[in-house]
């Protein structure tokens, strides 16, 4: 399944970020905890150089703590500062604290002169990583536009909270996916518009990938007595279990596919992590 998606507004977004980089002290890099490796956008490499960076493992409630701990260990080994977050919980105080921690030198320098200054940070991430939701939780109001589809935030938006000024930016991908698994994982988590994808192919790929490790979760969610070895048979079993049929009693593949993807994205399939550094040998690296 060849997936490529890079709308024109993303080129403008990167340009806007570069133009505003001089205005900020740090970057808040929001990562989807289910796909940490795939959330690593090589277009952000230039932005990160010479800047303080706070990585945010967002949506951490959708993965097992033991799995996320593997990534936390990897980040510690690489000297990266991170916090965990559940943007939808309404509490992102750890992000404010984390920003003040990495900008402590600036705050101390101005504090010695009796001046109070805010830490200014730019929030970046791939589409649908939850950037705007995190900011809204920090501001405890619907300050930034949010949505459950990629590309909702288009222009820059400043928000202030407890001594921190945040610049929200549009979710951004890169122009060419070198690894098919990265494109698929971004599609699974909703970073790529569903309108440019084949839902049936995508759901089939998803089932094929997660069935070995998360078979019991699939059985529980779809009330299956057994887990078919064949992915197509599994797909059809889910359709029949849900009563998704078309005329003639055949499985409704489109409705089933959309249901499977939505169930994963909403956490209804259980705590599924697509990428684990220890078991997959993954290392955050430059791509492009």
| Structural domains of the chain ordered from first start | 8-175 (3.40.50.300), 180-277 (1.10.1580.10)
What are the tokens at 1? 């399944």
Q: What is the pLDDT of residue 15?
A: 87
Q: 162-172: per-residue pLDDT in tens?
A: 888 888 888 88
Note down pLDDT in tens along the chain; length 288 residues: 667 666 667 778 888 888 889 989 999 999 999 999 999 999 898 888 889 999 999 999 999 999 999 999 999 999 999 999 887 776 678 888 999 999 888 888 877 777 778 889 999 999 999 887 887 777 665 454 444 544 444 456 678 888 888 888 888 888 788 889 999 999 999 999 888 899 999 999 999 999 999 999 999 999 999 999 899 999 999 999 999 999 888 999 999 999 999 999 999 999 999 998 865 555 554 433
Could you give the 3-state DSSP secondary structure of residue 264?
A: helix
Other beta carbons less than 10 A from residue 109's beta carbon? 11
Instruction: Give the residue from 101, 33, 23, 28 showing the smallest Cα distance to 65.
Output: 33
Contacts 24+ apart (CB under 8 A), 9-18: 9/151, 9/154, 9/170, 10/170, 10/172, 10/173, 13/154, 13/169, 13/170, 13/172, 14/43, 14/172, 16/155, 16/156, 16/169, 17/47, 17/122, 17/124, 17/169, 17/172, 18/46, 18/47
Spatial distance between the Cα atoms of 21 and 189, rounded to a whole number of angstroms:
28
Residue whose token pair is 């593949």:
253
Bridge partners, residue 166, by sequence = 121, 159
* Residue 137 and residue 92 in contact, taking contact as beta carbons nearer than 8 Å: yes
Instruction: Give the residue from 203, 234, 218, 178 showing the smallest Cα distance to 37.
Output: 178
Q: What is the pLDDT of residue 283?
A: 53
Q: What are phi and psi of 276, to 5 degrees?
A: -125, 125
Q: 224-253: per-residue pLDDT in tens?
A: 999 998 999 999 999 999 999 998 889 999
Beta-sheet strands, E only, within the chain: 26-32, 52-58, 81-84, 119-124, 157-161, 164-168
Q: What is the pLDDT of residue 4?
A: 64
Other beta carbons less than 10 A from residue 23's beta carbon? 12
Bridge partners, residue 31, by sequence = 57
* Residue 166 and residue 119 in contact, taking contact as beta carbons nearer than 8 Å: no
Strands in 81-84's sheet, in edge-to-edge order, are 81-84, 52-58, 26-32, 119-124, 164-168, 157-161
Q: Indicate yes or no: pTM above 0.95.
A: no
- The secondary structure element, H or E, covering residue 118 is none
């Amino acid at each position: 399944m060849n997936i490529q998606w890079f709308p024109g507004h993303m080129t403008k977004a990167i340009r806007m970020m570069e133009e505003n980089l001089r205005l900020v002290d740090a970057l808040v890099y929001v990562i989807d905890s289910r796909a940490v490796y795939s959330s690593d956008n090589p277009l952000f490499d230039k932005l990160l150089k010479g800047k303080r960076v706070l990585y945010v493992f967002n949506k951490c409630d959708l993965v097992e703590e033991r799995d996320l701990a593997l990534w936390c260990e990897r980040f510690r080994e690489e000297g990266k500062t991170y916090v965990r977050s559940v943007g939808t919980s309404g509490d992102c105080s750890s992000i404010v604290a984390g920003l003040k921690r990495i900008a402590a030198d600036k705050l101390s320098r101005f504090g010695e002169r009796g001046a109070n200054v805010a830490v200014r940070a730019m929030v970046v991430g791939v589409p649908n990583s939850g950037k705007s939701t995190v900011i809204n939780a920090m501001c405890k109001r619907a300050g930034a536009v949010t949505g459950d589809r990629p590309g909702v935030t288009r222009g820059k938006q400043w928000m202030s909270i407890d001594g921190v000024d945040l610049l929200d930016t549009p979710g951004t991908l890169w122009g060419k996916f070198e690894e098919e698994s990265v494109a698929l994982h971004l599609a699974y988590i909703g970073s790529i518009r569903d309108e440019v994808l084949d839902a049936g192919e995508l759901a089939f790929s998803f089932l094929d990938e997660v069935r070995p490790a998360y078979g019991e979760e699939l059985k529980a969610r779809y009330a299956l007595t057994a887990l078919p070895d064949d992915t197509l048979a599994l797909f059809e079993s889910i359709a029949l279990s849900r009563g998704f049929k078309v005329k003639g009693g055949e499985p409704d593949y489109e409705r089933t596919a959309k249901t499977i993807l939505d169930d994963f994205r909403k956490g209804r399939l259980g705590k599924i992590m697509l990428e684990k550094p220890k078991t997959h040998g993954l290392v955050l690296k430059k791509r492009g």
